[in-house]
């Protein structure tokens, strides 16, 4: 059990050394049609309709922008996307607790996280801890099922079952206002202290930069309730959940024109946090485990668009991820477990597209990367394999519009080769996977669109799964996934009280073969193996509307619903046949409502999740009850000496509900957060 927890908990790590990236990108046709016209004076027409959300894309997508973060009580990226349909955030609780995303029941390893178009890669465990991604520099977050609709992009963007794209703030300055400084502070429960500063600066007509920095400090202590087994709740305080983190992020932008651009991005993250123990048998373990991360990356991009119809995109990235894990109470000969790992990656991507005509675009992208994993030489492990992975991706893609139909297709070839200094390396992989997408507009300008896609993709085993101590298995096969989706979208601007209505619904079916699972063997550990087949049936649906209450106030309502039935279909005579996968609720509902005017906004959010199990056995003692939590926020905008100021107050878990997302890791009860931000 100890090794199981140790394996599951060794999540994240990154950075400190590097090399320097460079690239050149850009090219895609933008054809502008000039037209002469005469000037006529028209009678004024008042339009009361609100902006209709964009819901019609060839692939199912959901977005949230920076203007909505306060409305959704979002503190980090995980909070911002938790209400999306089909999303399950695996949350270990607390302000510094690990948070990973699973989309449509496929697990965190099947979702690529892009940062300004370049993937955040972790070859060790394949998962990104979304709690480490703050929102201070984020402009927009979009979740794509399948892959983004743009075909001129890095090949890695085609190589996952879903993509979470994070787009950062870009300087928008001029000669009248050549700089902008935004400063703020957040504080509240858990001893939170979170100041941040953003500086945007225009250098000249072509050059500008932006620098972001923030500090996060919290003791992480919160009250939670457990049942003693006698029907009486017992209140405890979560301990060893503190966090101290610092991050600095800078970007340099050059633009000769809208069709000739370059950017250089540097990011450093440093954290020290406690890992609280599991609450077992109504008692909290007094954990003293610690985790230190130092993550660094540098990425650069260049894009160029020619009038002839070519679009060139180049991306380069180097990164170093460092992780230091300590368990002073680990039962071993040394009386402790201390590990230090460093991961390096060098990545290069080039993509080129061409518009054959206004209705047909083709593209080719090639990515190459080298990633390795090393152990600290101060604590040598004679059996550590020191793996290195060479990955080459090639993609051919095409977009074609014929009348009311829009088609997209791509073919991805993945070539992976690994070497190790000790023991046995995984076998080379050479795999080709296709994707096909289509939309149909049955009635012109009706707002209705039908869509469908099929994607065959795989996820390669991580370094941990292949080589981690005694549980790693170098003979693992990739997880192969067939994704089928059939959906409809509808949007329409309305008159009267309601400004618009936007609706989406997608039914999907996923088939996963060679599912990679950890199988406990005895009290000393277990093994990681490919274990059969999983079928996932689901439905994602959402509806959004906005109403005009009076001349000053408007109201908004969004409702997201997810149904997931993810079952094991490996062996009909097995005791777990047709059992629901662990940590997969069948029904999830997210409600977001609010009223606001030009200055004041009042918002309410609620998440309702049905029950689930934390093992494949689906037995009564594996049962995790469903839960419902409610949050509220108030946001006020005003001017202080002509400087924009935003003040917000948030209450999370208003009704102080006691619940678990991950078994034995209780979530916080009622908590508060206030923030103030000024822009100069």
Question: From CA 550, how far away is CA 542, in angstroms rounded?
Answer: 26
Mean pLDDT, residues 277-289 taken together:
74
Choice among 45-54, 97-106, 341-350 with the minimum mean pLDDT: 45-54
Average predicted confidence (pLDDT) for the chain: 88
User: Which residues, other chains included, contact 234 with Cβ-Cβ below 8 Å and sequence gap of 6+?
Assistant: 225, 226, 227, 228, 282
pLDDT tens, residue by residue, 370-406: 999 998 755 556 778 999 999 999 999 999 999 999 9
Query: Which secondary structure element, helix H or strand E, spans residue 278, and what is its range?
Result: none
Which pLDDT does position 38 carry in this prediction?
39
Q: What pLDDT, in 10s, does the model give residues 544-587?
A: 999 998 889 999 999 999 999 999 999 999 999 999 999 999 99
Q: What is the pTM of this model?
A: 0.90
- Give the pLDDT confidence score for residue 264 in this predicted structure: 98
Q: What does the alpha-carbon distance between residue 154 and residue 393 come to, in Å, rounded to a whole number?
A: 9
Q: pLDDT higher for 4 or 445? A: 445
Task: Name the nearest CA neighbour of 315 among 365, 376, 385, 277.
Answer: 365
Highest mean pLDDT among 34-48, 461-475, 514-528, 639-653: 639-653
Q: pLDDT: is 32 or 413 the higher one?
A: 413
Whether residue 27 is predicted with pLDDT greater than 90 in this model: the reply is no
Rounded CA gap, 98 and 109, in Å? Answer: 15
Is the per-residue pLDDT at 637 higher than 90?
A: yes
User: What are the backbone angles phi and psi of residue 610, rounded to the nearest 5°?
Assistant: -75, 175
With 80 as the cut, is the pLDDT of residue 24 above it? no
Residue 55 pLDDT? 66
Q: How does pLDDT run across 290-305, given as a tens digit for each residue? A: 999 999 999 999 999 9
**Model confidence pLDDT, tens digit, residues 309-336:** 999 999 999 999 999 999 998 887 777 8
Is the pLDDT score of 524 beyond 60?
no
| pLDDT reported for residue 680 | 94
Of residues 22 and 163, more confidence is placed in: 163
Looking up tokens 């679009």 gives 311
Residue 1: predicted pLDDT: 37
**For the chain, domain boundaries:** 2-31+49-679
Decide if pLDDT at 48 tops 50. no
Query: Lowest-pLDDT range, 209-213, 349-353, 375-379, 512-516?
Result: 375-379
The pLDDT value recorded for residue 643 is 94
For 576-610, write each residue's pLDDT tens digit: 999 999 999 999 999 999 999 989 999 999 999 99
The conformational region for residue 320 under phi > 0 = left, psi -120 to 50 = alpha, else beta, is beta
- The yes-or-no verdict on residue 541 having pLDDT over 50 is yes
Tokens 């996932």 sit on residue = 536
Whether 47 has a pLDDT exceeding 80, the answer reads: no
Are 346 and 363 within 8 A, CB to CB?
Answer: no
pLDDT at position 92 is 85
Q: Which CATH number fits domain 2-31+49-679: 3.40.50.720, 1.10.10.10, 2.40.170.20, 3.20.20.70?
A: 2.40.170.20
User: Confidence class of residue 281 from pLDDT cuts 50, 70 and 90?
Assistant: low
219-256 residue pLDDT tens: 999 888 776 555 566 788 888 999 999 999 999 999 99
Distance CA 218, CA 215 (A): 10
- For the segment 193-216, the average pLDDT, to the nearest whole number, is 96
Cα separation, 290 vs 284, whole angstroms = 17
Question: E strands, 120-259, where?
Answer: 138-145, 162-168, 179-188, 192-202, 207-218, 223-227, 233-237, 243-257
Rounded to an integer, the average pLDDT of 32-51 is 41
Looking at residue 558, its pLDDT comes to 96
| Residues pairing with 283 in the sheet | 280
pLDDT in tens, 465-518: 999 887 889 999 999 999 999 999 999 988 888 999 999 999 999 999 999 987
Q: 67-94: per-residue pLDDT in tens? A: 899 889 999 999 999 999 999 998 888 7
Give the mean pLDDT of 652-678: 92
């Amino acid at each position: 059990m100890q090794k199981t927890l140790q394996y599951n908990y060794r999540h994240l790590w990154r950075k400190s050394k590097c090399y320097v990236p460079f690239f050149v990108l850009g090219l895609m046709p933008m054809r502008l049609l000039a037209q002469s016209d005469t000037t006529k004076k028209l009678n004024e027409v008042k339009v009361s309709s609100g902006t209709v959300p964009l819901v019609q894309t060839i692939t199912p997508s959901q977005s949230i922008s920076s203007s909505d973060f306060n409305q959704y009580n979002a503190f980090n990226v995980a909070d911002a996307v938790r209400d999306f349909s089909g999303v399950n955030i695996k949350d270990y609780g607390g302000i510094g607790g690990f948070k990973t995303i699973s989309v449509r029941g496929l697990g965190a390893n099947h979702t690529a996280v892009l940062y300004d178009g370049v993937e955040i890669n972790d070859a060790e465990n394949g998962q990104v801890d979304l709690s480490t991604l703050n929102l201070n520099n984020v402009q927009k977050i979009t979740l794509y099922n399948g892959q983004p609709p743009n075909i001129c992009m890095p090949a890695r963007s085609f190589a996952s079952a879903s993509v979470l794209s994070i787009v950062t703030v870009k300087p928008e300055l001029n000669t009248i206002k050549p700089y902008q400084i935004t400063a703020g502070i957040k504080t509240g429960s858990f001893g939170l202290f979170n100041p941040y500063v953003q500086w945007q600066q225009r250098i000249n007509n072509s050059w500008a930069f932006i620098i972001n920095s923030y500090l996060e400090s919290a003791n992480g202590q919160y009250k939670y309730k457990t049942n003693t087994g006698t029907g009486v709740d017992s209140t405890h305080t979560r301990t060893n959940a503190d966090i101290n983190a610092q991050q600095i992020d800078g970007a340099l932008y050059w633009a000769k024109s809208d069709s000739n651009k370059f950017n250089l991005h540097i990011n450093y993250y440093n954290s020290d946090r406690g890992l609280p123990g599991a609450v077992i048998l109504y008692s909290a373990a007094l954990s003293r485990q610690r985790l230190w991360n130092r993550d660094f990356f540098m990425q650069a991009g260049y894009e160029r668009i020619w009038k002839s119809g070519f679009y060139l995109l180049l991306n380069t990235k180097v990164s170093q991820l460092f992780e230091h894990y300590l368990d002073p109470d680990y039962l071993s000969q040394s009386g402790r477990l201390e590990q230090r790992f460093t991961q390096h990656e060098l990545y290069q991507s080039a993509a080129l597209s061409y518009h054959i005509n206004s209705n047909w675009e083709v593209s080719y992208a090639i990515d190459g990367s080298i990633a390795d994993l090393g152990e600290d030489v101060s604590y040598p492990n004679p059996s550590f394999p020191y793996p290195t992975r060479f990955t080459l991706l090639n993609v051919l893609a095409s977009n074609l519009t014929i009348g009311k139909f829009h088609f997209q297709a791509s073919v991805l070839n993945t070539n992976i080769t690994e070497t190790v200094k000790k023991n046995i390396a995984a076998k080379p992989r050479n795999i080709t996977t296709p994707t096909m997408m289509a939309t149909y507009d049955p009635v012109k300008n009706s707002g209705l669109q039908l869509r469908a896609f099929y994607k065959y993709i795989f996820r390669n085993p991580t370094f941990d799964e292949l080589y981690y101590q005694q549980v790693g298995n170098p003979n693992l096969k990739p997880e192969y996934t067939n994704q089928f989706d059939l959906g409809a979208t509808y949007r329409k601007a309305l008159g009267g009280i309601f400004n618009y209505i936007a609706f989406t619904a997608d039914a999907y079916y996923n088939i996963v073969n060679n599912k990679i699972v950890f199988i406990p063997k005895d009290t000393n550990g277990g093994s990681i193996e490919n274990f059969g087949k999983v079928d996932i049936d689901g439905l994602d649906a959402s509806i959004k509307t906005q109403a005009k209450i009076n001349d000053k106030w408007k109201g908004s309502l969004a409702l997201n619903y997810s149904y997931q039935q993810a079952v094991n279909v490996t062996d009909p005579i097995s005791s777990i046949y047709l059992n629901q996968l662990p940590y997969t609720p069948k029904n999830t509902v997210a409600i977001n409502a609010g009223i606001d005017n030009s200055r004041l906004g009042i918002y309410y959010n609620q998440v309702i999740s049905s029950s689930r199990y934390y093992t494949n056995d689906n037995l009564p003692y594996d049962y995790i009850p469903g839960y419902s939590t409610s949050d509220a926020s108030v946001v006020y905008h005003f001017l202080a000496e002509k400087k924009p100021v935003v003040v917000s107050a948030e209450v999370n878990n208003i009704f102080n509900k006691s619940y678990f997302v991950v078994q034995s890791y209780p979530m916080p009860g009622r908590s508060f957060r206030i923030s103030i931000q000024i822009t100069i």
